[in-house]
Structure 1
Amino acid sequence: MTNVFTKPISNRKPKIVLTEDDYARLSRLADAATERMPEVADYLATELDRAKIVPSSRIPSKLVTMGTTLTFRDEQTGRTERVTLVFPEEANIAEKRISVMTPIGAALIGLSEGQSISWPTRTGEIHRLEVLSVEEAR
């Protein structure tokens, strides 16, 4: 029986959009990480393959791109986080700067405000997150 107060969890992935610049750099990053971090590199490559690519000058509003600060909610735990999505060399967990080369970072790239996605944690659990708000990239 379905509880009317909870949203059903869909396994279908939402449509995502990437800028040409992000796509090019992230493709190189995923290729380079294949040996060191095969699971995350493969997940990121899969996300890149299904993305719609747009010119960097035509970024849709409220889109998670590299350098974007966003707020998301983990639908399993109810936890809300405000983070900035960055390249690995800029990551700093104490400053809430998460790398795109983490499972959650790879799941966030290309989402828009209001979208949800299921993502695998490093322990193999599947969580679902919803992007609550997106601020302009720095």
Structure 2
Amino acid sequence: MSKTDRKSKPEIVLPPIMVMEDEARRLNALASSCAMLFPRVAHFLAREMERASVVADNSDLGGVVRMGSQVRYCDDKTGEVRDVVLVYPHEADITLKRVSVLTPVGAALIGLSVGQAIEFQTPGHNKRSLTVLGVSN
């Protein structure tokens, strides 16, 4: 093993996520329809949907971030805590803390459970990490 191998960061392990069938269907369609306009975040959202465990629409997903969830999360780098509502793009309004699922933060949050963290890349190619502190649906 070379010195660079020992110093390299381990591969990011993404946390398991859960999404309801109807939301998975809508989010896959959204990612497909926005791929030309917003290629990076559409690809990220599509990848999240591919790896998600899809559960029946009548499942109890208490503590899991869904569309319409109010989410409290912490930016792991800055320590800043934010409260947002995760919404579809046409409902987004940052002044009302309504964050679109078609943003890097929104796509990162969908399907996470309280206590889970995820690392993702911003449009500026920086890495960010968020931890979900609370969810109410």
Contact 2:19–2:55 (Cα < 8 Å) also in 1: yes
Q: Which residue identity is paired with 1:14?
A: P
**Residue 90 (structure 1) aligns with:** 91
Task: Report sequence identity in percent.
Answer: 41
Distance 1:77 1:121 in 2: 15
1:33 alignment counterpart: 34
Larger Rg: 2
Q: Which residue of 2 aligns with 1:101?
A: 102
2:129 partner SS: strand
2:44 paired residue number: 43
* C-alpha separation in 1, matches of 2:43 and 2:76: 24
TM-score norm. by structure 1 comes to 0.90
- Kept after mapping to 1: 8 A contact 2:31/2:46: yes
For residue 33 of structure 1, what is the amino acid of its counterpart? C
Structure 1: gaps spanning 5 or more residues: 1-8
Q: Alpha-carbon deviations, 1:39-66, whole Å to 9, x = none?
A: 0110000000000000110032101000
1:127 and 1:35 map into 2 onto residues whose CA distance is: 24
Aligned equivalent of 2:132: 131
Indicate conservation of the 8 Å contact 1:19/1:59, yes or no.
Answer: no
Paired with 1:73 and 1:122, the residues of 2 have a C-alpha distance of: 19
Aligned residues of 2:66 and 2:86 also touching (Cα < 8 A): yes
What CA distance in whole angstroms lies between the structure 2 residues aligned with 1:51 and 1:125? Answer: 24
